[in-house]
Structure 1
Amino acid sequence: MSTIAAIATPPGSGGIGIVRLSGPRAKEVLARVFLSHSPDFENFRPWRLHRGRMLDRHGEELDDVLAVFMPGPRTFTGEDMAELHCHGGPFLLQAALESVLCLGARQAERGEFSRRAFRNGRMDLSQAEAVAELIGATSREAVRLGLNRLDGQLGRQTVALREELEDLRAHACLGVDFPDDEVPALAPDAFASAVEGVAASVRRLLAGKRRARLMQEGALTVLVGAANAGKSSLLNALLGRERALVTDIPGTTRDFLEERCDLEGLPVRLVDTAGLRTARDGADADPVEALGMALTRDRLGAADLLLVVLDGARLGEAGARATTCPDPVTAEILALAAHAGVPPLLVWNKCDLCAPDAPDSWPPRWGRHLPACMVSATTGAHVEELARLARRQLLEDAVPGDGALAPNARQALALERALEELEALSADIAAGQPHDCCLARLDTAAAALGEVTGLGTAAEVLDRVFEHFCIGK
């Protein structure tokens, strides 16, 4: 095994910078680049910071540092590890790294420290992925979900389910391998019940899949509506700053503009789009605006939530009381949303100019079945209420699952393959298939569950997982 080294702190200048080593020669390399200030220093006392001078590759003093040696196997990687804590200037860090590389360490690859931890049994693959997800977390909720996986909750549950399938396979094999002995075969009803129990547990784990995607990628929330409805003003109000250009001229927004914000722990990607107009309103007059409207329609189908912005000043009280949607642009948007399966949220904007206050006019009669909110993007009235309503709509069907667990995309794919095999197995049992014909599906389902924790995972899959890690972790 080689000894690897890398800078473990972010690029740029800082108060402290860390160079990390892992491998059998970690202590030896550390001793050759460190000169203690203490006259009584003889050897590195494990897990204790020692102050001294860092030497460059020519043996010249370079910086005043702290050094620590951590013997394996109770380390992050399971190997001997060492760290140099120096001042965080780019030159000093690079010089420290060059020193340890010249003395026998090699540059670590992306995610190589975490990969060694996985290989040495210090964590399973789901925990290793949680390390990278915690580093990239953009909200408190994403941190919470990552910590649950880092703690091994998802791994332990999938391991337990896999063991249930292994036990079930052993019982099924008895009737196949010893048909003439007095060994009771697994009854079809008991077999089917056990398989369905595991399948139900897998479904509960998969229930958090969408929540994990929203927390890691951010919920795509698209503001759509007729031209001059106030979408750009509403984007600015939700962000709390002037980001989008706002004028009274229809068609000011030609392209979509994406910004990130946080809705009480939920990361959201807000997208302001070009306002839609009909041919009667002159939509065909400007080819650039037409391209922007085409982008709006494309973006609409990829959204997690649509904020359908209505120009309350233009629609007026009559527009709220109408039994059918009086605005052809809004009617088109709602039809596109229904076809794409994207939930819409009606936003009556400019309520400072016109606000339907009759009990039977809000939500509008034609949109009584939809969630709705009145706001004024100009004055900021009810914008916080809109943010809370949007958050509820985004998380409405993104249930946390067992213990707030939420598998990432790779883990969910493995769980879905396992569930597919288990459901097919249930159908085979109901059709009266013999036990020996069912064993292959049991094996495939167990193998898919093993992929969640990395058991039997191919090297190329591991490469794809760890290549997204930062160097030094």
Structure 2
Amino acid sequence: MTFADTIAAVATPPGTGGIGIIRVSGPKAEDIASRLFRPTRPGFTLKSHRLCHGRIVSARSGRVLDEVLAAFMKKPQSYTGEDVLEIHCHGNPLILQSALAEVVHAGARLAEPGEFTKRAFLNNRIDLCQAEAVADIVGARTGRGLEIALSQQRGELSGKIENLRRSLTGILAGLETSIDFTEEEVSGGPTDDARGRIDALLAELEGLSSTYDRGKLVRKGAGAVIAGKPNTGKSSLLNRLLGENRAIVTAIPGTTRDFIEEEIGIRGVPVRLTDTAGIRDPADIIEREGIDRVRERLSSADAVILMFDGSAPLTAEDDAAIEKTAGRPVIPVINKSDLEQVIDAEQLRNRLAPATPLSISAKTGDGIPALLDAVYALVAGQAREPDPENDIVITRVRHKTALEKTAAHLLQARESLAGGLSAEFVAFDIREALDSLGEITGMTSREDVLDRIFSTFCVGK
């Protein structure tokens, strides 16, 4: 696809850094380079796919804006499949904005979110799975999330979908042969063969769909709230899990009045930890507001780490904490195992049954590995644990929906075969299945779907 306009944007994150990159894509990219870039070596011209040292200047005033490296990439061997210019400046926002303004004045327009990757997709440089993976690579929050995104960007999920499409196309070809010729002219039974192949495809679709819960969890993460009465060691636990002193810890009840959020990775799953105000009758309006926010966090938490002080007896405030977390996914924890245990553990077990409290010490780290295992087990639920060496994972509800639609059409085709309907009816369902499967890689996606997907990207991508 050929676009008449040229787009430009800052491709590096906002803020100050060592390097800042301006990306330009479109038919005017080479002309913009000739107008704004002055190579250090006299008479030198930009060659495709080579870095060149020089200066970026204002076409209007001739003023030098920065010392830069420039790279020009001739189409179609570029990210977007168009002529692409990259200007590597010093990472000062003032420099980047002034250079971008000159690029726009020279004939480009500001890119929309995700427009570079959208052009790469429309120019058949990548498919829709790979385009989405670009955003996931940028936004990955754990090593496992990055592995999955890189796998999809390499085309491993796309290859799996293509293999399924080939199998469907083979079934369709056999059915259409039986439509075009009479039974006497066709040897064998294409409909008999189709039944077995449809069953095999349904099994593959089910296997791929079953990876979604795990993929979604790795991509989007889960939330765990640390709750309990004051002085049970909630902030100490947060600090222990983070490996740093993020929250203030004192012996004064009510030290934490607002919630503190940080993120850790547990077996590849990003988990947002929220340290909350102690649950008790508030001493003032500020503490009341903090406790009200605890209730909001508890209502949406995937896991609640409910803490008790093992060095003290159970109190009415412990009872209030148990009541406020009733019906939530709770992991009860008895903290301060490094001190003499005073708490009535048996009474607590009876109150919390069938959950069994874990014994930990936020101070020494005792019991922390078991707690992390419990959090993972709770948030992962029934999500299938993938084989990291040989497993393709889907991460988006769009993928799962398309697979379910494909399976529904195949089930209808199988019913048509079982009911003795003619090959024309079965072939129709197979074509519908092909269209549904094509939505994943973008072969059959509507324009509004594409706009919605690429609008979630950052501007420079």
1:382 paired residue number? 367
Map of 1:345-364 to 2, 5 A cutoff?
345-354=331-340
Q: Offset of 1:403 from its aligned partner?
A: 2.2
Please report how far the alpha carbon of residue 109 of structure 1 lies from its aligned counterpart in structure 2 after TM superposition.
Answer: 1.4
Comparing 253-262 with 112-121, greater Cα deviation is found at 253-262
Give the match for residue 464 of structure 1.
Answer: 452
Where do residues 179-190 of structure 1 align in structure 2 (5 Å cutoff)? 179-183=182-186, 184-188=188-192, 190=193
Q: Per the alignment, in what secondary structure is the counterpart of residue 391 of structure 2? A: helix
State the Cα distance separating 1:464 from its structure 2 match: 0.8
> How many Å apart are 1:198 and its aligned residue?
1.5
The equivalent position to 1:15 in structure 2, one of 10, 15, 18, is 18
Shift of 1:308: 3.7
Match of 2:327 among 324, 329, 336: 336
* Greater mean alpha carbon deviation, residues 238-247 or residues 76-85: 238-247
Q: Which amino acid aligns with 1:381?
A: D
Structure 2 residue aligned with 1:312: 310
Q: CA deviation at 1:413?
A: 2.6
Please list the CA deviations of residues 47-106 of structure 1 after superposition, one character each: whole Å capped at 9, or x if unmatched. Answer: 222222222021514122222211111111111111222222222222222222222222
Aligned with residue 85 of structure 1, among 82, 88, 91: 88
Q: For structure 1, which segment, 361-370 or 179-188, has the greater mean C-alpha deviation from structure 2 after superposition?
A: 361-370
2:245 is aligned with 1:241: yes
Deviation at 1:330, TM superposition (A): 7.8
Q: Tell me how far 1:152 sits from its aligned partner.
A: 0.6
CA–CA distance in structure 2, aligned partners of residues 467 and 110 of structure 1: 5
With the length of structure 2 as denominator, give the TM-score of the two structures.
0.83
CA shift for structure 1 position 158: 0.9
What amino acid sits opposite 1:186 in the alignment? Answer: P
| Native 8 Å contact 1:258 1:271 kept in 2 | yes
Whether the aligned pair in 1 keeps the contact of 2:9 and 2:23 (CA below 8 Å) is yes
Q: Are residues 1:407 and 2:395 paired?
A: yes
Structure 1 residue 118 corresponds to structure 2 residue 131: no
Give unpaired runs (5+ residues) of structure 1.
317-326
How far did 1:352 drift? 2.8
Question: Quick one: percent identity of the two aligned structures?
Answer: 37
Matched, 1:448 2:451: no
In structure 2, the residue matched to 1:38 is 41
Distance (whole Å) between structure 2 residues aligned to residue 434 and residue 389 of structure 1: 55
Q: Tell me by how many angstroms 1:335 deviates.
A: 6.1
Q: Is the 8 A contact 1:141 1:265 kept in 2?
A: yes
Q: 1:202 to 1:286 in 2, by over 3 A?
A: farther
Distance 1:39 1:400, change over 3 A: same
Structure 2 residues without counterparts, runs of 5 or longer: none
Q: Which moved more, 1:102-111 or 1:428-437?
A: 428-437
- Once the two structures are superposed, the pairs formed by residues 158-169 of structure 1 within 5 Å of their partners are 158-169=161-172
Give the corresponding residue for 2:195: 192
> How has the CA–CA distance of structure 1 residues 439 and 303 changed in structure 2, closer, same or farther, with 3 Å as cutoff?
farther
| Residue in structure 2 matched with residue 322 of structure 1 by the alignment | none
Residue 258 of structure 1 is aligned with which of 258, 261, 280?
261
Shift in Å at residue 294 of structure 1?
7.5
1:204: Cα distance to partner? 2.2
Paired amino acid for 2:402: A
Correspondences of 1:46-125 after superposition (within 5 Å): 46-62=48-64, 63-125=66-128
Counterparts in 2 of 1:193 and 1:226: CA distance versus 1, 3 Å: farther
The answer (yes or no) to whether the contact 2:191–2:417 under 8 Å persists in 1 is no
Provide the C-alpha distance between the structure 2 equivalents of 1:64 and 1:248, rounded to a whole number of angstroms.
56
2:51 is matched by which residue type in structure 1? L
Compute the displacement of 1:7 (Å): 1.6
CA distance in 2, matches of 1:167, 1:117: 30
Query: How has the CA–CA distance of structure 1 residues 371 and 410 changed in structure 2, closer, same or farther, with 3 Å as cutoff?
Result: farther
> Alpha carbons of 1:173 and 1:363: their partners in 2 closer, same or farther (altered >3 Å)?
farther
The answer to whether the 8 A contact 2:156-2:392 is kept is: no
CA deviations over 1:353-412 (Å, ceiling 9, x no partner): 4559xxx98995887975753112344433344234433554464323652423323222
Structure 1 window deviating more from structure 2 (327-336 vs 6-15): it is: 327-336
Q: Secondary structure of 1:336's partner?
A: coil
**Residue 4 in structure 1 maps to residue 2 in structure 2:** no
Aligned pair partner of 2:28 in 22, 25, 28: 25
Matched, 1:422 2:424: no
Separation in structure 2 between the aligned mates of residue 291 and residue 74 of structure 1, nearest angstrom = 57
